[in-house]
Amino acid sequence: MFFHRLKTPGLGQNSYILGCGEGLAVVIDPRRDIEEYLHLARENDLSIAYVLETHRQEDFEFGSATLAQMTGAKIVSGCHELFGRTDVKLKDEEELKVGTTRFVALETPGHTPESMSYAVYVKDSGEKCWGVFTGDALFVGDTGRTDLPDPEKTGEAAGILYDSVHRKIAPLGDQTLLYPAHGAGSACGANISDRDDSTLGIEKATNPVFKKSREEFVAHKLAEKMARPPYFSHMEEVNLLPGRPFKWPPGVHVLQPKEFQKRMKEGLVIDTRSPEAFAGAHIPGSYNIWLDGMTAFGGWIANENTRILLVTDHPEAMEQAVKSLARIGIDSVEGVLISGLESWRDEGLPMETLATTSAPETATWMQQDRVHLLDVRDEYEWNDKRIPGAIHQYVGYLEEKLPPLPKDSEIVVHCNVGHRSGLAASILKRNGYSRVHNMLGGITAWENLGLPLDSSGEDQQVEA
């Protein structure tokens, strides 16, 4: 039996292709760029017959319709209206037979009202369930967030999700393999495990949805405070459509430095290099989003209408950056600086630097009351552990609500290791904060050095 999990860098998104016997295959929750699914099918002599959607995804644009157009596959979903246009709508516990494999549709709302799971029964497994594609209902070590449809009904949705997992998924048996739509790093779950593989038996022994009572689980979900990226709303809209093909190569122009400089007046510049490289020299006014963080954070500073210009190290980086933005529905990259910052430098055009610091130096400065420390991690991380004396503002909300600090004061920004704080520092510089330092190594280095940490600092929370 052929089976392959495709992980999307930066999103924590999982999609799957499953061989179902008789030369047929099914793809579950495909992303917008579909080349890899087609390649895997060709290499394994498979014909993609169906595309299964677990729910209307919030954090990436579906490739279902494009994949169906390319292969003749039919799109399968539940019956809820939020699925939009699909070819086959399965009712709760209705079966779909593909080759020698049976799929049983299970309504598992809670994360979103339309969420579906698909229990899979393969040849020679008898009546035992082989695996279940759970979408965002059940993750490895966690469950989907329940605040997306309506933050005011987070607790009510948590109770619905608890019932879905216990009534629909748990009875499939401890041997059942778990295949969720997201893994670690996703914005759809607060504490997803780093491991990708699990069974229902393992989850029953470890996952909060099984270890807590219904009331405790509702309280647990109410306590989650997860940021909602602004591009989620755009994804809700486009994933109701039949699909928007991803064109490759895209119509991105490679620009000479002076042309790049002219176009900067009508758009924004994203520098995809590392925080260290950005600190050494960068184009004034540019944002620093490291390459692997483009999908997760590009949608915080840009939207589908933003005119974007990129600074990259090499052509492969340009390709990755453009694809990363396209996966969240942003197709508006207009140009890339030829030869990266080197060509800009050689033309003698303006450049800026950004100060960096280390954990030991920051600790000394704080003892001397020389700096303000700004923590830009998410609230879940902040509540877990923090540096005494720091104030907190999640990087995604930083431009919307700047920290209440004098713009000429010494500010040290930190995250876990220095990537998100690199973005935060670039945002502060764009907004007139003149003495900003990125603490490279972040709280990871701070903790490794045995410097003080605590877990009580709500008084210094900056309201977003």
Q: Where are the domains of the chain?
A: 3-238, 253-346, 355-460
State residue 464's pLDDT score.
35
Quickly name the fold that domain 253-346 has.
Oxidized Rhodanese; domain 1 (3.40.250)
Dihedral through CA 106, CA 108, CA 112, CA 116, nearest 10?
-20
- Rounded Cα–Cα distance for residues 80 and 76 (Å): 12
State residue 241's pLDDT score.
81
- Rounded Cα–Cα distance for residues 270 and 285 (Å): 9
- Residue 166: CB atoms within 10 A of its CB come to 14
State residue 9's pLDDT score.
85
State residue 457's pLDDT score.
46
Quickly name the fold that domain 355-460 has.
Oxidized Rhodanese; domain 1 (3.40.250)
Chosen CATH of 3-238 out of 3.40.50.300, 1.10.3720.10, 3.60.15.10, 3.90.1150.10: 3.60.15.10
Is 355-460 the same fold as 3-238?
no
Q: What is the mean pLDDT of each run of 10 residues along the chain (464 residues)?
A: 94 97 98 96 98 95 95 97 93 98 98 98 93 98 96 97 98 98 94 96 98 98 93 92 78 92 95 97 98 95 96 92 95 93 96 98 96 95 94 96 95 98 98 97 97 69 42
> Which of these, 136, 131, 49, lies nearest to 88 by C-alpha position?
49
State residue 459's pLDDT score.
39
State residue 456's pLDDT score.
56
Catalytic residues: 415
- Rounded Cα–Cα distance for residues 360 and 145 (Å): 37
Q: Phi and psi dihedrals of 13, rounded to 5? A: -90, 135
